[in-house]
Amino acid sequence: GGHKVVLKYRVYPFLIRFFICLLLNEDPNVQGLALDLPESLYSSKVLNAVKPEKDVDGLSDVNLGRLVRGDAYDCLVPPTVCAVMELLEDLGGKKVLLVGASGAVGAALQCMLQREGATTLSCRWKAPELQTKLNHADVVIVGSTKPDDVPVSWIKPGTTIISCSRDLVSGKSLCHRSYFNILLRSFEISNMVKNIERWIQSQQYRKWDLRCLKLQLLSPVPSDIEISRAQSPKAVDVLAKEIGLLTDEVEIYGQTKAKVRLSLLERLKDQPDGKYVLVAGITPTPLGEGKSTVTIGLVQALTAHLNINSFACLRQPSQGPTFGVKGGAAGGGYAQVIPMEEFNLHLTGDIHAITAANNLLAAAIDARILHENTQSDKALYNRLVPVVNGVRGFSAIQFARLRRLGISKTDPGTLTEEEINKFARLDIDPSTITWQRVVDTNDRFLRKITVGQANTEKGFVRQAQFDIAVASEIMAILALTTSLQDMKERLGKMVVANDKKGEPVTAEDLGVTGALAVLMKDAIKPTLMQTLEGTPVFVHAGPFANIAHGNSSVLADKIALKLVGEKGFVVTEAGFGADIGMEKFFNIKCRASGLVPSVVVLVATVRALKMHGGGPNVTAGAPLKKEYTEENLQLVADGCCNLQKQIQITQLFGVPVVVALNVFKTDSPAEIDLVCKIAKRSGAFDAVPCDHWSAGGRGAVKLAQAVERAANQKNGFKYLYSLELPVVEKIRIIAQKVYGAQDIELSPTAQSQVDRYTRQGFGNLPICMAKTHLSLSHQPERKGVPTGFILPISDVRASIGAGFIYPLVGTMSTMPGLPTRPCFYDIDLDPITEQVKGLF
């Protein structure tokens, strides 16, 4: 019935007992182990085979170490020692001799006796000085069977004798052995109860005991990788313990990364959530305005400087941009996730798992088309449902397909020819395939390819393409799923094509859902890392911010909200500007999670505001024009229209907004003051300049204080639209209320797709607009706040497993290309130190 038990077991022979002990160590239903062995078998190896946290006997090295240190809470006193101490009184100044009591029990006895003021001596039965020591002892404690050649006359009259061995010692004894056994068992039970109490307490929420790391600030600020490498991160198991994670909830990957198991959500299900903060931004320049840096600086300020529990939840970066143009995504300056090279390269393999799962499904699609085109119904059916060991049966996923087809039969031999045809043939229309292969590299020559050119594919050639791995729908599913079961259901719902009747074909129809879930079983667990100041970070999922929703995972947020406690903060980031990432966070991610945001932090820079005010173009890799490096109040004032619009967009959702002005060294005090005044006048709860890039968490303390105050404000969170509205109307609401468009215009292709999805039953899904992030409009060159434009919808597609429809505003590339001079020119490995160079 789910009750936790402590097992005391007696298994013979010894080897069986020993191996069962090792097995029970890993059994989550066993909270304690008490060994009952012959004295000759109580070796150190056996005693230490029991996990310290399950050591009811208190005889493991770890437990004895805690006892010697005086750590009363974390240790258990061995029952034998407890029984001896119960029988002895007023030990101050007395001489106590331990005979034949060596090993763990002897060490524990000496520790407890000395703590009570006794003088302790230890002696072997065969020692030549035994008679002298027995003659001077006030108390003799016998730990093993007395040899016959040791006479009782060696013990002086009046000596108290306690036997801890299985045999009684002749002569005067304080008690009968049966009474000692009763005491022994009672203390053993007491230890069992204490172990259960300790386990129950460990399952409850625990206050953090976080040791933050000190920063050694330098000026000028070194490169990101130099800063990262100069800091010594805490071992990740230490960090996990500091924030209340249990040992069996953490899977260690090296020294600085760990996966966190979802079982934590069940353990802390009654724990109130902390405050939920979203970091968004104004419409950015191509250089980015530092949302990740603000996110990390904010949590460093909250935890390391204000002593408030906080967690950052970030997306995992794609390796495409890391080696292409953008570089890494670990933050920057003195507000980073460390080690930054591990953050940016591979991490714990989640993107590789997504790539494997995505491409397995792609392979299944083409293989199924080939096999259906080259086999009769009977041959196809016989191969899909083969005879194995003389028995023919449907697999679990095939039973699910039979149910969807309305076929209730369970015996493969009873299907009619018509039923066999329906079951065996998916009849995929190759022209409708939307599922593409993926790779986590910027490779422009994979934007259009031809597959099936080998002779073995018998002429079934078709045009296809590769997307970058983070554009896979499986990545979006990972970011939105709420459990392993939910992920499996979402994977099965993914629509990969239509059949020749226009009906959707899913991953479930292809029979691959279970295999995809197996490939993703570890990727679903968030990865724990840390900031430069030793505060915790979850890195999990990294969906595209245009054709997907551009947010880190729901699961990371949910786990972090439990861990920080009711007064703590979880800070997460939305991709691109507030008009894209924030809108999708509210309308898609919050619907999936059921979580309600407390505050929005809107990141702005003087540089971006000058661009929106009419400044010259900003180009990645090119030096900034003088307008951006010299004071120009008029440009700043004119560009604040974009900031005001983004504040208004936030207010549509009823959430308080704090503007964080990410300060650069070229910003003048007058420019900074002007932006903050305009932001407050435009409805922001507060506007705060931040210099966390150069000062770490200390540079974001005022922002953290403003966020804390804003989180206590009245929150009227609401979604922008009802899911029951028609697809076109939901698109129109976003275009008009968020982007400022006059109206929308759907191409015939887009309208046809909307009609198809509505007919197929997908009309009630939320909308995920795929639009340029460089303008509120569909035209990247239009800065500030464009008005009066008609938003063109060129196509409409769907990610049914992820749970949204995504209209394409213009042409969207899902495979970036490499520039003339990619980042990889500067990336290198030192073969002596194995250190990575050139990441930024």
| Per-residue pLDDT at 765 | 97
Phi, psi (degrees; rounded to nearest 5) at 823: -60, -25
Top pLDDT among 684 and 123 is at 684
Indicate whether 1 pLDDT > 60. Answer: no
Q: Render 747-769 in DSSP notation, one character per residue.
A: -HHHHHHHHHHHHTT-TTS-B--
CA distance 692 to 688: 12
Using one digit for the tens of pLDDT, what is the confidence trace for 772-795?
Answer: 999 999 999 999 999 999 999 999
Question: What is the average pLDDT score of the chain?
Answer: 90
Using one digit for the tens of pLDDT, what is the confidence trace for 534-574?
Answer: 999 999 999 988 888 999 999 999 999 999 999 999 999 99
| Per-residue pLDDT at 69 | 86
CA distance 801 to 507: 9
Share of the chain above pLDDT 70, in %: 94
Q: Per residue, what are the HEC states of 438-507?
A: EECCCCHHHCCEEECCCHHHCCCCEEECEEEHHHCHHHHHHHHCCCHHHHHHHHHHCEEEEECCCCEEEC
Indicate whether 748 pLDDT > 80. Answer: yes
| Per-residue pLDDT at 819 | 85
CA distance 416 to 816: 50
Using one digit for the tens of pLDDT, what is the confidence trace for 145-191?
Answer: 778 778 888 888 888 888 886 544 433 344 456 778 888 889 988 98
| Per-residue pLDDT at 677 | 98
Q: Render 624-679 in DSSP notation, one character per residue.
A: PPHHHHS--HHHHHHHHHHHHHHHHHHHTTT--EEEEEE--TT--HHHHHHHHHHH
CA distance 559 to 136: 63
Nearest to 567 by CA among 324, 61, 207, 833: 207
Q: Render 11-65 in DSSP notation, one character per residue.
A: -SSHHHHHHHHHHHHT-TTEEEEE----GGG--HHHHTTS-GGGBTT--SHHHHH
Structure tokens at 57: 């006997």
**Of 143-152, 302-311, 638-647, which gets the smallest average pLDDT?**
143-152
Indicate whether 444 pLDDT > 80. Answer: yes
| Per-residue pLDDT at 447 | 94
Positions annotated as catalytic residues are 291, 293, 315, 326, 545, 576, 664, 693
Using one digit for the tens of pLDDT, what is the confidence trace for 457-508?
Answer: 988 999 999 999 999 999 999 999 999 999 999 999 999 999 999 999 999 9
CA distance 565 to 275: 9
| Per-residue pLDDT at 2 | 39
Using one digit for the tens of pLDDT, what is the confidence trace for 90-110?
Answer: 888 899 999 988 788 888 999
Q: Give the mean pLDDT of 196-210.
A: 80
Using one digit for the tens of pLDDT, what is the confidence trace for 595-634?
Answer: 999 999 999 999 999 999 999 999 877 899 999 999 999 9
Residues in the chain: 840
40 pLDDT band, cuts 50/70/90, is low
Contact at 8 Å (CB) between 825 and 808? no
Indicate whether 291 pLDDT > 60. Answer: yes
CA torsion sign for 794, 795, 799, 800 is positive
Q: Give the mean pLDDT of 577-602.
A: 96
Indicate whether 799 pLDDT > 80. Answer: yes
Q: How many CA atoms lie within 13 A of 832 on its CB side?
A: 0
Indicate whether 7 pLDDT > 80. Answer: no
Indicate whether 221 pLDDT > 50. Answer: yes
CA distance 331 to 338: 10
Contacts of residues 404-407 at CB distance under 8 Å and 24 or more positions apart, as own/partner, are: 404/508, 404/509
Using one digit for the tens of pLDDT, what is the confidence trace for 258-271?
Answer: 999 999 999 999 99
Contact at 8 Å (CB) between 682 and 647? yes
| Per-residue pLDDT at 219 | 92
Residue whose entry in the numeric block shows the structure tokens 């109307």: 729
Indicate whether 737 pLDDT > 90. Answer: yes
CA distance 341 to 339: 6
71 CB contacts (<8 Å, ≥6 apart)? none
Using one digit for the tens of pLDDT, what is the confidence trace for 313-366?
Answer: 999 988 888 887 655 677 899 999 999 889 988 899 999 999 999 999 999 999
Contact at 8 Å (CB) between 701 and 709? no
Structure tokens at 208: 């953090």
| Per-residue pLDDT at 547 | 83
User: For 327, left (φ over 0), alpha (ψ -120 to 50), or beta?
Assistant: left
CA distance 304 to 294: 15
Top pLDDT among 50 and 419 is at 419
13 pLDDT band, cuts 50/70/90, is very low
| Per-residue pLDDT at 182 | 86
| Per-residue pLDDT at 18 | 62
46 pLDDT band, cuts 50/70/90, is confident
| Per-residue pLDDT at 174 | 40
| Per-residue pLDDT at 203 | 72
Q: Which DSSP state fits 737?
A: I
Q: Give the mean pLDDT of 47-62.
A: 85
